[in-house]
Amino acid sequence: MFRVSIDPSIFFATLPAEILFEVGASSEFLKAKMELEDGRIVEALIYSVIVSAQGRENVTLAATYEGALPVLGAKFLEDFGLKVDLETSLLKPTRRQGFAYNFES
């Protein structure tokens, strides 16, 4: 089990390659150009990874590049139906577990 920071201002989760390989992530055979906080542009490899958080388990995409720090981004939050409570900094559900969309007729 790994503890990872969450930053809703970034899109993809970023994880070091060592963590992705250790947890058995699957390559998507895709690359993405990412701009880092310091302004550098890096080419990142994209992986599917199973993540568990707040009693939920789901697949999300993660990017890795040389020097990547472990951070979960907005895509992770949306995939899991979670948000960061700005007062407590804790994760809170935005929908019931297991449902990607709320549909009411």
The domain segmentation of the chain, as residue ranges, is: 5-86
* pLDDT, tens digit (0-9, with 9 covering 90-100), for 5-46: 899 999 999 999 999 999 889 999 999 999 998 999 999 999
The answer to whether residues 1 and 8 touch, using CB atoms and an 8 Å cutoff, is: no
Q: Does domain 5-86 have CATH number 2.60.120.10?
A: no
The residue behind tokens 């939050």 is 77
What integer pLDDT is reported at residue 57 of this predicted model?
A: 85
- pTM for this entry: 0.79
* pLDDT, tens digit (0-9, with 9 covering 90-100), for 51-100: 888 788 888 999 999 999 999 999 989 888 889 998 988 889 888 776 55
Query: Cα separation of 66 and 15, whole Å?
Result: 10
Burial of 62 (0-12, 13-18, 19+ CB in 10 A): buried
